[in-house]
Structure 1
């Protein structure tokens, strides 16, 4: 496992909630250096966030890049966003997922 800070790819976070989620995920990692070969992808599809961990290797020209998956792969689902820090007991709830709401159609909260 490389110890360098990764480049982040955030895909399909288009709504206000999606932009807020992307902002939270972005600030979990420090700023990477330009020559870093480590890449972490958070891709939103139907409100499930897929996490992928890759390294990139350049072969020949600038447009021939190969991604090699090196790390864990898992799916996330946003449950709750609270304002404040972890040690605060009475933090204000910014957003909560309510799966049993009566809606006419399945709503996508974070993207298309």
Structure 2
């Protein structure tokens, strides 16, 4: 069940993922590599899925096994809309390695942090 939920987040299948969450799958479920549902949705630019996870209380700063945050992942991938949504929801700019601030500078996205 966890593997399927992670794949639903990765592919942006929001409606099916929400069904899992509504049937008690923890919103902060992570795979063996520490990738959370929110990280996968953010990294792959699935805005509707990101919003659904935020609405259900996903930990915005939950780090994966490589110490990366969903916000830094979105910045790395150039997912500006997702990054803005995470920032507006209260994601930390200073969590993880690299931090979102560092990732924004490295990948030319510092304007999103203003």
Q: TM-score, normalised by structure 2?
A: 0.21
Return the structure number with greater helix share.
2
Return the structure number with greater strand share.
1
Q: Which has the higher contact order (CA 8 A, sep 6+)?
A: 1
**Structure (1 or 2) with the larger CA radius of gyration:** 1
Q: TM-score, normalised by structure 1?
A: 0.21
